[in-house]
Chains A and B, each alone.
Chain A
Amino acid sequence: MGATISRLGERPNLWPWLLLAPLTAYLAIFFLVPLADVAVMSFTEPRLSLANYQKIVTGTLYQRVFLNTFLTAGLVTLVCLCVGYPLAYLMNNSKPRTAMLILLLVTMSFWTSFLVRTYAWMVLLGNNGPIVALLSALGLTNPPQLLFTRFSSTLAMVHILAPYMIMNIYSVMRKIDPVLIRSAESLGARGFSLFRHVYLPLTAPGIANGCVLVFVLCLGFYVTPVLLGSPREQMIAGLIGHQIEEFLAFGMGSAMAMVLLAITLAILAVYHRRFGLDKLWG
């Protein structure tokens, strides 16, 4: 890659830039300009001041929702890791046919619209759904409330985001040289010790990639917690939507969006210093 670029540099070639131009223009017009508009609005609506940001720092509602957003994103990331790591391991260490089947299942879920998956959970977890019916059939007279709780919204978000975790870890596991494992074994590493001192460090980049992607994507989740959770578990994107739709508080919504963006960029910056952002995309 580096060689290609330097060769192009010697012979001034505008083609790559021309090819990039439509996309750059598209992003500039439909992403950067509106984003700048949002940034300006966060300081100017309803009047020129820092009042919106002040409210975020001092208002109990905003603090609570921001805190809940990070706790939820953390919880979802943790569960995704606990579910995703063994699954990626299984994919990497089973026969090609089985691995293919698991991969197919993971990607099929990945390709299904998340709105559809969210509604599917509503059907599954509903009072007249199969899970409550099963619990009743098993003799549970008073089945627990599943829908519209933290449980249901977390479950659905894990379902939607787990593929990002699995694919990231899997791609790293595939690249591990089996010779390294055999060498470790020949040096006496066994079982947990082998995993702890050899396999886990080798897969760490995949874990980091997966966690950052899942965490950042989860921070901005909107529809799933709105439909499956309750106002007590609402996340920041839902609150932004509600503030704009119900109160037409464009300034307040913009300020919250800017804070969320700043935090997301900060997380990515830390990641970049540690691992390099280019690794995030495999």
Chain B
Amino acid sequence: MTRSRPGSPTLLAPDRRTFLKAGGAALASTLAMPYIARAQDNVLYVNTWGGPWEEAAKAHIFDPFTAETGIEIRTVSPVSFAKLAQQVQTGTYEFDVTTLGAGELIRAEQAGIIEELADAPYEGALFHNGVGSHAFATVIAHRTDKFPDGGPQNWAEFWDVERFPGPRSLQRYPARVLPLALLADGVAVEDLYPLDIDRAFASLDKIKEHVLVWWTAGAQSTQILRDGEIDLIGIWHGRYFEAEEAGAPVAMTWNQGEIERAYWVVAKGTPNAENAKKFIDFAVSAKPLAGFVTQADYGPLNPAANEFISAEDAERMPTSPKNYPHTFEQEIDNFGADIEEVAQRFEEWLAS
């Protein structure tokens, strides 16, 4: 199962990681074989998800950037937050820039492992010293062969096992699933955060026996939807389109799609900081970003990119002017509980 698309573990597992308490450092140090610190002016090391993600980034961001600036891009994958922390501590840099999800970004800023950024490449780009790049959404999808008269259009209907009987699937990832459980229980989007954790678990109780698969990898979610192992699923939009393109009888709604953002950051203290900032400005500029998100199935966070996206491609993006009003955003900095503790409680809940 590849983890190269939206929602690979690091991007998607923002706040649940403990290595800043020196957790992963020990293991990472025994495993990592960092490049010897380099100070070449014309090479920039970018941490990528590999696979289709990197193909899209190479075609639309890396190669055009090299053509314009003469700075060569070399890639290191997969994305590792542990490594980012590690290389700042050791002063040995394997990569200069990487992408982080919102939860990790906040923790990276608190831990002082990313450079401070002063200039926003576009209005509203900066968030806790990260530059907003692209977004993906967890959306409701269903099998049209099981529900020929239409599937659930919001999370309350997804929870309605009388009206929509059949096995379901959700991601085994509480920070993303608990808000959905609250929406299903009737909480309005604007009242969602901080989360009422007890109420969310009570809501999950109602659907637990109908959730046949708690998926953990993006490829797995596509497979069970495509093969009809489940009738309803909460799935990343890019993974949904893969199943649709494979010819499976499926449909989705953008309504109550849960958006999460990815941010570019610069590793603190890297000798390539200037080039790194130049790169990020380029990566979130309208045209390269438009090409990248179109190929990699994301939505651009720089609104200027929308100009370079065809109406047809925009249909597939959570951030397009048409789809965005139906969605809602994660508010990781207003989560309402210690995500680590919630995650452990979620695991206990699953096993019981």
Contact = CB atoms under 8 A, between A and B. Distances in A.
Contact of B343 (A45, A147, A231, A246): A246
Contacts of B21: 46
B116 interface: no
Interface string A82-117: 000000000000000000000000000000000000
A37 B352 contact: no
Given A41-B26, A126-B227, A230-B212, A60 B17 contact: no
A35 to B, nearest CB: 12
Contacts of B348: 59-61
A127 interface: yes
A65 B350 CA distance: 11
A65 B26 contact: no
Interface in A115-163: 126-128, 145, 147-148
A34 B29 CA distance: 12
Given A61-B347, A128-B227, A231-B351, A246 B13 contact: yes
B interface, how many residues as a size bin?
Answer: 20 to 34
Contacts of A148: 212-213, 229
B324 interface: no
Contacts of B18: 46, 247-249
Name which of B30, B214, B227 has the most chain A CB atoms within 10 A of its CB: B227
Nearest to A46: B21
A263 B35 CA distance: 40
B19 A248 contact: yes
A64 B351 contact: yes
B267 interface: no
Given A61-B351, A230-B214, A247 B340 contact: yes
Interface in B1-36: 9, 13, 16-19, 21-24, 26-27, 30
A250 B227 contact: no
Given A37-B30, A41-B27, A246-B9, A232 B350 contact: yes
Contacts of B26: 37, 41, 44-45, 250
A250 B27 contact: yes
A279 interface: no
Contacts of A185: none
B64 interface: no
A242 interface: yes
Contacts of B344: 61, 247
A64 B347 contact: no
B146 to A, nearest CB: 10
Interface in A235-282: 242, 245-251
Interface in B181-239: 212-214, 216, 227-229
Contacts of B343: 246-247
Interface in A176-234: 226, 230-232, 234
Contacts, number: 78
A248 B351 contact: no
Nearest to B174: A246
B167 interface: yes
A: interface residue count bin: 20 to 34
Contacts of A231: 172, 214, 347, 350-351
Nearest to B223: A122
Contacts of A128: 227-228
Contacts of A34: 30
Contact of B16 (A64, A65, A226, A246): A246
B44 interface: no
Residue from B19, B351, B352 having most chain A Cβ neighbours under 10 A: B351
Most buried by B among A46, A128, A250: A250
B30 A250 contact: no
A231 to B, nearest CB: 4
A64 B351 CA distance: 8
A247 B229 CA distance: 28
Nearest to B220: A227
Given A145-B212, A148-B212, A230-B214, A251 B351 contact: no
Given A64-B352, A231-B172, A250 B213 contact: no
Contacts of A147: 229
Contacts of B340: 247
Contacts of A245: 9
A59 B345 CA distance: 11
Interface string A42-59: 001110000000000001
B214 to A, nearest CB: 6
A248 B229 contact: no
A242 B332 CA distance: 22
Contacts of A249: 18, 23
B82 interface: yes
Q: Which residue among B213, B347, B352 has the maximum number of chain A CB atoms within 10 Å of its CB? A: B347
Given A45-B26, A246-B343, A232 B229 contact: no
A235 to B, nearest CB: 11
Interface string B319-352: 0000000000000000000001001100110111
Interface of B: 9, 13, 16-19, 21-24, 26-27, 30, 82, 167, 172, 212-214, 216, 227-229, 340, 343-344, 347-348, 350-352
21 contacts: A37-B27, A59-B348, A60-B352, A61-B348, A61-B351, A64-B351, A126-B228, A127-B227, A128-B228, A226-B216, A230-B213, A231-B347, A232-B351, A242-B347, A246-B13, A247-B340, A248-B17, A248-B23, A248-B24, A250-B23, A250-B26
Given A145-B167, A230-B212, 17 more contacts: A34-B30, A45-B23, A45-B26, A46-B22, A46-B23, A61-B351, A64-B352, A126-B229, A127-B227, A128-B228, A231-B214, A231-B347, A242-B347, A246-B343, A248-B17, A250-B19, A250-B23
